[in-house]
Amino acid sequence: MVVGGLLVAACSAIEQPAGASLSLEAIYGENAYESDSVAGMRWLDDGSGYTLVERVRSTDGEDNGFTGEEIVYYSAAGADRRILVAADRLVPSGAEQPLEIDDYAWSDDRRRLLVYTNSQRVWRSNSRGDYWVLNLENNSLTKLGGPDADEASLMFAKFAPDADRVAYVHDNNIYLENLTSGTIDQLTQSPDEQTINGLFDWVYEEEFGIRDGFRWSPDGEHIAFWRLDTEGSQDFILINNTDELYPTLTRFPYPKVGETNAAAFIGIVEVDSGATVFVNLPGEPREMYIPRMDWAGNSRQVAIQHVNRKQDTNTVYLADLDGELQAVLVEAEETFLDRFRDIVWLNEGKAFLWYSERSGWREIYRVSRNGSEMTDLIPGEFDVISTEAVDETNGWLYFTAAVENATQRYLYRVRLDGSGEMTRLTPDRFSGTNSYQISPDAAWAVHEHSRFGHPPQTRLVSLPDHDSRRVLVGNNALREQIESLATGDAGFFEVTTRDGLTLDGYLMKPADFDPGQEYPLVFYVYGEVASTTVTDSWGGSTYLWHLLLTQNGFLVASIDNRGTAAPRGRDWRKSVYGAVGVLASRDQYDALQQMAARWNFIDTGRIGIWGHSGGGSMTLNMLFRYPEHYHVGIALAPVTDQRLYDTIYQERYSGLLPEYADAYVEASPITHAENLQGDLLLIHGTADDNVHYQQSERLVNELIRYNRQFTFMSYPNRTHSLREGAGTSLHLRTLMTNYLIDHLNQQE
């Protein structure tokens, strides 16, 4: 339907009387609007119940600081609750406080519990820390790594299938610790400092989304692992000028576009003897990638996905224990492949599930082990988002998809043998975005639901009837807070580009909106291939900041241009190949023109735009490519020159050098910096290991060259997220808010 010219598709228009005003201090200083979530949820193998990590409160009910955490069991069918691991069982010998649980894992036989604690950040995630094993039979609590292990120095610890041993990574090698004898054996040997086993370099971790680099065989006799040789991959250097008397340096291999990659190998080590075989994969290792690897539904073969540097061809191999190879499947595209996923094995390894866009849409296929038979389980003109569960016993595949609306997510199921039609399980009353943690028997699910402007709620539901059994997290107090705020109309709409492509967007209006007045408009943009901004879901602090802007007299909008990760088909995503930022910025411009023609309450002389990372790049593109139409921009941590970004991401979408050299120049915002006419606030963290501070420094030089005036803010030793350090988030958003008010909300 249409409300005041606004197409309300995913979330209905919100009409509320004047209410409370937001403050930056409340959002970013006090975290007064933070939502709760389910912590440490694990389904039991039989699906009868689940465990959660819960904080121990003092006897008077007050929060008097950390007193411990306990692991609690809840039955699925009833309301049974019992403490499985009390906090006092997690107190190390000689300590006064129990361990803080950053993560945990049960052994298959439930005799032991692996507790991850004291975690430390390694690039994007806290993947290094201490591991302890609690023997639930005799209550012994043992720290892994031996007495000489440094604090917080272990990574990715995992039980063997027999639960009597644990493997982990320490100092770039894989070790095996016997939980009965306490002996520790080193399973891999790095020949030099440039060789790492069982973990990844920066670019693999960031762009393939993998951190844990080894896999136990189902029978526990072997471990398959990645080995990376980073020699020849040049180091990037981060400079810390604030923490010591003299600058300190951090070096790490970071291959930029066209430069030398690490060489990746797959090894298989026999844990009893230490004998290791390396798989003889074809091609020059530094010109190939291995984004996924795991055991192939048995303990005799490993499945390896082997991708060329251009990332348009993925060959699936089965490797025997002696390293012999058999190619079973080739996935190829004219442009690029992305979102590499783990293979799910069926029928004791006789078949597997495979994602493919060969039909033009992202679908799931059932493939025979040798690749000779492929069955499309979910044919249709829509994209599958993710697999949620495989119920082989009853023959069902559960998945999330966007069938009718790209801004929403719902749960469906279909037969594993390809017979019958798919069925939507999410009821209509849960319009918006839905995510699920489904029990192993697919009889239950923890269901989280949210909508635009509405915080998430988490429920336990039965399947397939989707009957709500109990609310786990209601966020009721937060919902009441949000409802009390001064909020204007908000809704989703569509616009059409010059070549007939439909784009999704949303628009937020001030609470005291008057259609007879003109308002400044601020766009929130990402625009690149890794994510989207226009989703019918709770937006957290970003939504609240946008709401604060509407309370200060702004319109706020966002558009998903072509090429973003929206579930709108292969052509949508692949159309930007070799021209990332070019077509995308044209789409954004077309959207603005249509919006301005449709709604005369938009002041086309006061158009602002902001974005972070890829959104920072898009902000620059709009200011530089369409300077007469975008008047104020805030670019956070932008890629200004695509040739300075990493190989895996940028070459995937922009092509290889030297063939695409001219395209890199044309697509980079820095090429068009001379055109800046409006007001630019450029923001970057000096310790950004992802989009390097170098990117903004080069843009600064270019703007100086052409005498283009701008405002620049650097945040010392902040990374790409720009969140570290006391007061950073509040300072950043205060800076951004004031800049928009000072430069955009003043009528001429």
Q: How far apart are CA 7 and CA 3, in angstroms?
A: 6
What CA–CA distances, in Å, run from 351 to 28, 299, 346, 611? 49, 15, 5, 43
pLDDT tens-digit readout, 718-745:
999 999 999 999 999 999 999 999 999 7
45 or 659: which carries more pLDDT confidence? Answer: 659
CA-based nearest residue to 113, from 53, 57, 58, 55:
53
Strand ranges, E, within 597-666: 602-612, 632-636
Helix-helix angle 728-744:540-551, to 10 degrees = 30
pLDDT of residue 481: 95
Q: For the chain, what is the mean pLDDT?
A: 94
Mean of the pLDDT values across residues 10-39?
A: 77
pLDDT of residue 4: 30
Neighbour-count burial of 185, counting CB atoms closer than 10 A to its CB (0-12 exposed, 13-18 middle, 19+ buried)? middle
Listed range (3-12, 22-31, 110-119, 460-469) with the worst mean pLDDT: 3-12
Which residues make beta-bridge pairs with 85? 71
pLDDT tens-digit readout, 37-93:
998 899 998 899 999 999 987 665 555 556 799 999 999 988 789 999 999 999 999
What CA–CA distances, in Å, run from 382 to 120, 360, 400? 40, 9, 11
What CA–CA distances, in Å, run from 205 to 75, 200, 228, 331, 715? 36, 6, 12, 22, 24
List CB contacts of 622: < 8 A, sequence separation 6 or more. Answer: 523, 525, 585, 588, 589, 609, 629, 630, 633
pLDDT of residue 293 exceeding 50: yes
pLDDT tens-digit readout, 584-636:
999 999 999 999 999 999 999 999 999 999 999 999 999 999 999 999 999 99
pLDDT of residue 477 exceeding 60: yes
pLDDT of residue 60: 58
Q: Percent of the chain, pLDDT > 70?
A: 96
Q: Which two tokens stand for residue 598?
A: 């449709």
pLDDT of residue 17 exceeding 50: no
pLDDT of residue 509: 98
CA-based nearest residue to 364, from 392, 400, 315, 332:
400
Banded pLDDT at 475 (limits 50, 70, 90): very high
pLDDT of residue 67: 79
Q: Which two tokens stand for residue 293?
A: 């690897």
Mean of the pLDDT values across residues 629-657?
A: 98
pLDDT of residue 406 exceeding 70: yes
pLDDT of residue 330 exceeding 50: yes
pLDDT of residue 148: 84
pLDDT of residue 516: 95
Q: Percent of the chain, pLDDT > 90?
A: 91
pLDDT of residue 64: 58
pLDDT of residue 747: 52
pLDDT of residue 746: 67
pLDDT tens-digit readout, 152-179:
999 999 999 999 999 999 999 999 999 9
CA-based nearest residue to 398, from 342, 436, 433:
436
Q: Which two tokens stand for residue 80?
A: 């049974």
Q: How far apart are CA 445 and CA 382, in angstroms?
A: 24
623-626-632 Cα angle (round to 5): 35
pLDDT of residue 124 exceeding 90: no
> Is the C-alpha dihedral spanning 147, 152, 156, 162 positive or negative?
positive
Mean of the pLDDT values across residues 344-363?
A: 97
Q: How far apart are CA 658 and CA 254, in angstroms?
A: 20
Is residue 401 within 8 Å of residue 410, measured between CB atoms? yes
Is residue 366 within 8 Å of residue 375, measured between CB atoms? yes
Q: Which two tokens stand for residue 516?
A: 């007879």
How many CA atoms lie within 13 Å of 576's alpha carbon, on the beta-carbon side? 25
Mean of the pLDDT values across residues 329-343?
A: 95
Q: How far apart are CA 85 and CA 89, in angstroms?
A: 7
Instruction: Fill in the DSSP letter of residue 100.
Output: P
Q: Which two tokens stand for residue 350?
A: 């006789």
Is residue 366 within 8 Å of residue 346, measured between CB atoms? yes
Q: How far apart are CA 138 and CA 1, in angstroms?
A: 64
Q: How far apart are CA 250 and CA 692, in angstroms?
A: 13
Helix, strand, or coil (residue 280)? coil
Q: How far apart are CA 120 and CA 100, in angstroms?
A: 13
- In this structure, are strands 632-636 and 602-612 parallel, antiparallel, or unpaired? parallel
pLDDT tens-digit readout, 233-271:
999 999 999 999 999 999 999 999 999 999 999 999 999
Q: How far apart are CA 595 and CA 589, in angstroms?
A: 10
157 or 148: which carries more pLDDT confidence? Answer: 157
Helix, strand, or coil (residue 51)? strand
Peptide bond into 510 cis (omega under 30): no
Instruction: Fill in the DSSP letter of residue 553.
Output: T
The residue whose two tokens read 């279909």 is: 414
pLDDT tens-digit readout, 662-686:
999 999 999 999 999 999 999 999 9
pLDDT tens-digit readout, 266-292:
999 999 999 999 999 999 999 999 999
Q: Which two tokens stand for residue 475?
A: 């966020």
pLDDT of residue 123 exceeding 90: no
pLDDT of residue 18 exceeding 80: no
The residue whose two tokens read 């749960």 is: 411
Q: How far apart are CA 305 and CA 303, in angstroms?
A: 7
